[in-house]
Chains A and B, each alone.
Chain A
Amino acid sequence: MNHWIIAPIVLPAILAPFIIMVLRHHLDLQRVFSVAGSVGLLAIAATLLAQASTGEIQTYELGNWPAPFGIVLVLDRLSALMVGLTAMLALPVVLYAIGSGWDTRGQHFHALFQFQLMGVTGAFLTGDAFNLFVFFEVLLIASYGLMTHGGGAVRLKAGVQYVTFNLLGSTLFLFALGTLYAVTGTLNMADLAVRVAEIPPEDTALLRVGAVLLLLVFAIKAAVLPLHFWLPASYANAPLPVAALFAIMTKVGAYSILRVYTLIFGPNVDATEGLVGDWLLPAAMLTLAVGAIGILGARQIGRLAAFGAIASMGTLLIAVSLFTPDATAAALYYTAHSTFAAALLFLIADMVMERRGGAIIPQSPMAQTGLIASIFFVSAIAMAGMPPLSGFVGKLLVMDAARHVENYATIWAVILGGSFVTIVGLARAGSLIFWKSHDPAYVQAEVVDEEPEEAPAPAAPEPYPGLAFASVFVLVAGLAALTIFAGPATKYTGGIAAQLFAPQDYITAVLKGEKE
């Protein structure tokens, strides 16, 4: 058995308690170990990516119990890509948290951060539906701690809403799993795929209920309209570097949709044929529309970034909901792009917020305004999907994949219209924050006009501003690399899509041919 597969879960799982129990009074050591853990995770993820790129599907049987009786971890190209993305996002975010001093504003930031990584990588690697639930809970419970990190009345209240919403989601997840277990008698994903295909079509009413319940759960995670209400208030009120890490959490929802509805309820299963795509496509288009309008209407830069995340989930899920290999490949490319772009926007928002408060109104210029303005410009280009960055390539791929669909005109119109509104919204925010602030007449007039803005609380000094900027530039470099190496990247995502739409290989790899 290949023990590399469990390494991305075990490493943070050991590191986090170690940080809590041994290093709790040594912030410097916590930082060293947390960064080292993130680098280690990156190395493990690179190894896994290299192993998965051969196209072989490897499994890891926990406790050596053969599937479907024990829990299996499965490494295929999709899992490897998602673990890689997690690791690539984690390193800049943890560096930023150190550089901006966010990790000093409360206790246990680094331990919670590692637990969060454990949950996310576990969710990407597991091949068992109930184990997926458990890893969802691991990542959620860590995210509750991270979301309320630093405290404050508003943040805690937003935290209560966030926790309530997610507990409801977890309950729904359990109802869905119970329904599926009652019908099929298994929760191993590969085994589920086999059993679901065997059920005669006239007995599938309960199965369809289970499939739709499961879709609702993943839609909550992915912030699909109308289940997106938790996202803006929670992300905008969370510490924004944490929100940057949460950019991968919505992707967990998208990943689960992709995994479950290609493997278990795939396009070839009669019982659920078209069920998911038909619902998901309009919902995804509405998500994009609402995200774009939210960007335009945001009066606070944290909410702007949160709606940016929603809009990019909309584009991503439009591609996912088509369930064709081309569209899935495009969706995966866009996943990588949108993870980096959303995280970048959140980090920039944090820089702005720390220096001048989050309101999108002209105020006297802040420190380093030129540098921050240019990075905001880059992140806005990426988020809106304009050339030359990878958002443009991603949207082009999605639209190209939608070309053969019946109602492609609607999809194109929504994507293009959404991009336009996003561009206007980001341009408006950028010019108000960065340009108008330099216009003395305008600033004066505004101040007279409005209530005198409460001076932003004196920000804690940034211990290492250089580090904060460096981590932002790492994300920019990631976006640039994704653009320059778009060719190899699309080839790789094409390989993932091919693997996803041939689920027989996955089933054979997990069940070792026992069920054939």
Chain B
Amino acid sequence: MEALFASAVGVLTAAGIFLILRRRTFPVILGLSLLTYAVNAFLFATGRLALNAPPVLNKYKEVAYTDPLPQALVLTAIVISFGMTAVIVMIALSAYLSSKTDHIDLPLAEEAGEDE
């Protein structure tokens, strides 16, 4: 299971980085989403992988349990990354609508602020 999980995280990260290096905003945003999926899964695994174990201690008998903290961390990370994706989609949309192009890079003259 560990090998499968690790390679899934690796593939997601690789695909995310590949997409982030594209020139248009849509693939870049998709790449960011893939990266956040990868990091969420990675965070989840930092408490070690366990099957069929509740994230609580049982005070009556010794049972296997899984670390609850990474689950809380992942929840926070998911909420934040979801919000951030919404923000970047909105900013990218308004950039696209106001400049009529969805290229991610600034034209050189504009980058130097010479049209201002």
Chain A residues whose CB sits within 8 angstroms of the CB of B70 once the complex forms: 178, 181
Structural contact, B98 and A303, CB atoms closer than 8 A: no
Q: Mark A447-460, 1 if CB is under 8 A from B, else 0.
A: 00000001010000
A233–B46 alpha-carbon span in the complex (Å): 36
In the complex, chain A residues 112-165 whose Cβ is within 8 Å of any chain B Cβ: 130, 134, 137, 141, 144, 148, 151-154, 156-161, 163-164
Q: Mark B79-110, 1 if CB is under 8 A from A, else 0.
A: 01101100110011011001100001110001
Q: Would you call the interface of chain B mostly helix, strand, loop, or mixed?
A: helix
Does B14 make an interface contact (CB < 8 A)? no
Structural contact, A168 and B20, CB atoms closer than 8 A: yes
Q: Mark A280-300, 1 if CB is under 8 A from B, else 0.
A: 000000000000000000011
A261–B93 alpha-carbon span in the complex (Å): 40
Structural contact, A137 and B92, CB atoms closer than 8 A: no
Structural contact, B104 and A137, CB atoms closer than 8 A: no
Given A157-B95, A159-B95, answer yes or no on A130-B115 (Cβ-Cβ < 8 Å).
no
Structural contact, A154 and B110, CB atoms closer than 8 A: yes
Structural contact, A156 and B39, CB atoms closer than 8 A: no
Given A168-B20, A174-B77, answer yes or no on A156-B116 (Cβ-Cβ < 8 Å).
no
A191–B72 alpha-carbon span in the complex (Å): 19
Given A151-B98, A160-B88, answer yes or no on A134-B20 (Cβ-Cβ < 8 Å).
no
Structural contact, B106 and A168, CB atoms closer than 8 A: no
Q: Mark A232-262, 1 if CB is under 8 A from B, else 0.
A: 0100110000000000000000000000000
Chain A residues whose CB sits within 8 angstroms of the CB of B95 once the complex forms: 153, 156-157, 159-160
Structural contact, B113 and A236, CB atoms closer than 8 A: yes
Structural contact, B32 and A353, CB atoms closer than 8 A: no
Chain A residues whose CB sits within 8 angstroms of the CB of B67 once the complex forms: 185
Partner of A233, one of B20, B77, B98, B106: B106
Chain B residue with Cβ nearest A357: B116
Partner of B115, one of A154, A160, A181, A353: A154
A28–B46 alpha-carbon span in the complex (Å): 50
A299–B115 alpha-carbon span in the complex (Å): 12
In the complex, chain B residues 52-92 whose Cβ is within 8 Å of any chain A Cβ: 67, 69-70, 73, 76-77, 80-81, 83-84, 87-88, 91-92
Partner of B87, one of A144, A185, A358, A359: A144
Chain A residues whose CB sits within 8 angstroms of the CB of B105 once the complex forms: 161
The count of chain B contact residues (Cβ–Cβ below 8 Å) is 42
Structural contact, B73 and A130, CB atoms closer than 8 A: yes
Chain A residues whose CB sits within 8 angstroms of the CB of B106 once the complex forms: 154, 157-158, 161, 233, 237
Chain B residues whose CB sits within 8 angstroms of the CB of A454 once the complex forms: 115
Does B111 make an interface contact (CB < 8 A)? yes
**In the complex, what's the smallest C-beta–C-beta distance from A153 to chain B, in angstroms?**
4
Structural contact, B91 and A156, CB atoms closer than 8 A: yes
A161–B69 alpha-carbon span in the complex (Å): 33
Does B28 make an interface contact (CB < 8 A)? yes
Chain A residues whose CB sits within 8 angstroms of the CB of B69 once the complex forms: 181
Interface centre among A137, A141, A160, A182 (most CB of B within 10 A): A160
Chain B residues whose CB sits within 8 angstroms of the CB of A177 once the complex forms: 43, 73
Structural contact, A164 and B32, CB atoms closer than 8 A: yes
**In the complex, what's the smallest C-beta–C-beta distance from B25 to chain A, in angstroms?**
6
Does A170 make an interface contact (CB < 8 A)? yes
**In the complex, what's the smallest C-beta–C-beta distance from A412 to chain B, in angstroms?**
33
Chain A residue with Cβ nearest B40: A174
A170–B77 alpha-carbon span in the complex (Å): 10
A182–B73 alpha-carbon span in the complex (Å): 13
**In the complex, what's the smallest C-beta–C-beta distance from B26 to chain A, in angstroms?**
11
Chain A residues whose CB sits within 8 angstroms of the CB of B76 once the complex forms: 130, 134
Structural contact, A182 and B87, CB atoms closer than 8 A: no
Interface residues of A (CB under 8 A from B): 130, 134, 137, 141, 144, 148, 151-154, 156-161, 163-164, 167-168, 170-171, 174-175, 177-179, 181-182, 185, 187, 233, 236-237, 299-300, 302-303, 353, 357-359, 454, 456
Beyond known contacts A151-B98, A353-B116: 16 more, CB 8 A cutoff: A134-B76, A137-B80, A152-B98, A156-B94, A157-B106, A157-B110, A159-B95, A163-B84, A167-B32, A170-B80, A177-B73, A178-B70, A182-B46, A233-B111, A236-B113, A302-B113
Interface residues of B (CB under 8 A from A): 20, 25, 28, 32, 35-36, 38-39, 42-43, 45-48, 67, 69-70, 73, 76-77, 80-81, 83-84, 87-88, 91-92, 94-95, 98-99, 104-106, 110-116
**Which 10 A-B pairs have CB atoms at the shortest separation, nearest pair first?**
A156-B95, A300-B113, A153-B99, A182-B46, A153-B98, A178-B46, A174-B39, A178-B43, A163-B88, A181-B46
